[in-house]
Structure 1
Amino acid sequence: MVKHDLLANKKIIITGAARGLGRDFASAIGLAGATVLLADILTDLVQKTAEDLRVQGIDAQAVPLDLAQQASIQGVAQWAQTHWGRVDGLVNCAALATGVGGKDMMDYDPDLWDRVMNINVKGTWLMTQALVPLLKRSAAGKVVNIASDTALWGAPKLMAYVASKGALIAMSRSMARELGTDNICVNTIAPGLTLCEATEYVPQDRHDLYVTGRSIQREQNPDDVSGTAVYLLSDLASFVTGQLIPVNGGFVFN
C-alpha cells in the first residue's frame, strides 16, 4: 500500500492488531495518515508490530489488551484519554478464533462456548462502551466491528464462533441506533476466509470451498479487506451507519 491522507489527523485504535488481519488494518490505517494505537493480548508481539509500523513512517504505539478483563479494557481507554484526549475511530478486530472449531453441535464444549461469547461479544461491547466518551469528542466518531461471513452462510462445526459473529452483527446495528445521536457511526465488515495466522488451522477443503464458491475465484488476503475499513473510518462514510459489508470475493452476497 502507498501512503495517502484520507485519515490524516485521525486517532484510531485497532484491537487484535499484533498479527493477522488486525495487523494489516493497523498498517493500512496508518498509511492513510492516522495515528494508531495497537491493542492486543500478545503483548510482546504487538510492541514489535508497532515498531515495524514506525519503520514505515507510521505514528504507532501499542498497549496490552485482554478482552476478558474489564480492567484491561479500561486501561486502553485511559491510555487514549491521557495521550490523545479523543478517539476518532475504533476497529474491533480482536476475537477468539483459533481452536474453536472442528466439532459439531452435539459435541461442542459448553465452557469453550462461554469463552468465545465472553471475548467476541461481551468484550467487543465493553471495549466500545469504554471508548464512547472519547468517540463523542470527535467531530465524527467511527466504530468498525469485524464479524465474519461464516455468520451469513452458517459454516458447520464452528458454532460458537458463528454465533458470536452473528451476535456481533446484530449488536452493531443496535449500537448504531444508540450512538447515532452523538454522530458516531457503527458498521460491520464480514470478511471471508482470509489467509493469515488465525486461519492456518482451517482444513484445506474449507479453503478450497471458499475459492471455488467465490465470484472472484482466488484466495483472500488481508489487503482485500483493509481498504473497506479505511473507507468506513473516513469522512467519506460519515452518513453510513448500521450497515453490514461482506468482503469475500462474492462467496456470500448481502
Structure 2
Amino acid sequence: MAIELVDRTILVSGGARGLGAAFAQACAEAGARLAIADIDGEGAASTAQQLRANGCDAEGFAVDIADADSVTALSAEVERRMGGIDGLLNNAALATGIGGKTFEEIDIDQWDQVMRINVRGTWLMTRAFAPMLRRSAKGGRVLNIASDTALWGAPRLLHYVASKGAVISMTRSLSRELGEDGITVNALAPGLVRVPATDYVPEQRKQFYVDGAAIRRPQVPQDTVGGAVFLLSDASAFISGQILPVNGGLISA
C-alpha cells in the first residue's frame, strides 16, 4: 500500500516553523490538504502561503492551544473554511529554553505553563476536533508528538519530561475511547531534532544523542517526518495506542 495522504485534510498545530513546518511540508508532499495552526498566526499564514506556492491547498490559523476559547474558535474557523479535517497532528508544545534546571530549581509558574500547553493543550485540541474526525470518510487520525526524553528520563528537564510522559499516557487512553469511532490515536517520540528551537541545548546533550544512537549522526527534521506521514495514512489503519520512537535507535518504547 502506498504511503500517501491524498484526499485527507490534516491540521498541524505548531506548524509555523521548525519541526511543525517540516511535518506540514511532508504531509503536503504526500498529497494532503493542510491547516496550519500556531500561536504565531502570521507565521502560520506564511507557512501556508509557502505551501500554496508549491501547489498545496493550505490555510493558516492563529490559536493558543492552552486556551479553551481559542481552541473552540479555531475548530469553528477550520470547519467554516475547510469543511473539517481527517487528521490532527498535535505538535504544538513548549520546549525552547526551559531545560537546565534540577527538579528542585524549576519554579512553579514555569511548571504550570509547560503542563498547560503540552498536556492541557493536547487534550483541548483533541476534544475540539474529535467531532470532525468522527465524520471523516477516510477514517480519523490523531498523532501526538511526544518525546523520547519521556522514555529514558532526561535529567534537568523534569517538567517537559513529565508533560511528554502524560502525552504518551493520553495517547493510549484516547485510543481506547476513540477506537470505536474508527479513529486511530498514536504518538511519535522524536529524539533531539536539530532545529532552531533546540539551538540552546548544551553541546554535551547533543553529543549524547549522537554517541548513544545506533545511527550515529545528528537527527534532522527529514529523519522524523516519515513516521508521521505513515501514522496519518491509510497504511496505519489497524495501528492505534502505539508509541513510535524516532531517534536513530537511541532508545525503544
Q: Pick the TM interval, shorter chain.
A: over 0.9
Whether 1:87 and 2:85 are equivalent positions in the alignment is: yes
* Per-residue deviation, residues 182-235 of structure 1 (Å, max 9, x unmatched): 000000000000011221110111100100110000000111111111001110
The alpha carbon displacement at 1:83 in A equals: 2.4
Please tell me whether residue 152 in structure 1 is matched to residue 151 in structure 2: yes
Aligned to 1:184: 183
Q: SS at the partner of 1:160?
A: helix
Q: How does 1:133-172 map to 2 (within 5 A)?
A: 133-139=131-137, 140-172=139-171
- The gaps in structure 1 that reach 5 residues or longer are none
Q: Which residue pairs with 1:72 in the alignment?
A: 70
Aligned ranges for residues 210-229 of structure 1 at < 5 Å?
210-229=209-228
Sequence identity percentage: 51
SS at 1:9's partner residue? coil
Q: State whether residues 188 and 246 of structure 2, in contact with CA within 8 Å, keep that contact through their aligned partners in structure 1.
A: yes
What is the alpha-carbon distance in structure 1 between the residues aligned to residue 136 and residue 230 of structure 2? Answer: 17
Matched, 1:31 2:26: no
Deviation track 1:96-134 (CA, whole Å, cap 9, x = no partner) reads 001211110111111100000010001100100000000
User: 2:208: which partner in 1?
Assistant: 209
Equivalent residue letter for 1:167:
A
Q: Normalised by the size of structure 1, how large is the TM-score?
A: 0.96
CA drift at 1:80:
2.2
C-alpha distance in 1, partners of 2:82/2:103? 45
In structure 1, C-alpha distance between the alignment counterparts of 2:107 and 2:97, rounded to whole Å: 12
Measured in 1, the distance between the counterparts of 2:227 and 2:73 equals 28
Matches within 5 A, 1:34-49: 34-49=32-47
Measured against aligned partners, the alpha-carbon deviations of 1:46-67 in whole angstroms (never above 9, x if no partner) come to 2111111112111111000111
Q: Are 1:125 and 2:123 an aligned pair?
A: yes
Tell me, what secondary structure is at the counterpart of 2:135?
Answer: coil
The Cα shift of 1:85 comes to: 2.7
Counterpart pick for 1:106 among 97, 104, 107: 104
Judging changes above 3 Å, is the alpha-carbon distance between structure 1 residues 141 and 191 closer, same or farther for their aligned structure 2 residues? same
Counterpart Cα distance in 1 of 2:50 and 2:125: 25
Q: Say whether the 8 Å CA contact 2:64–2:70 is kept in structure 1.
A: yes
Q: Secondary structure at the match of 1:14?
A: strand
Q: Is the 8 A contact 2:66 2:124 kept in 1?
A: no
Once residues 43 and 128 of structure 1 are traced to their aligned partners in structure 2, the CA distance between those partners, rounded to angstroms, is: 20
Distance 1:131 1:98, change over 3 A: same
**Rounded Cα–Cα distance in structure 1 between residues aligned with 2:169 and 2:44:** 29
Task: Give SS of 1:245's match.
Answer: strand
Structure 1 vs Structure 2 CA RMSD: 1.1
Q: Which of 6, 9, 14 matches 2:4?
A: 6
For the pair 1:252 / 2:243, whether they are aligned, the reply is: no
Note the C-alpha offset of 1:5. 7.6
Structure 2 runs not aligned, ≥5 long: none
Contact 2:3 2:233 in 1 (8 A): no
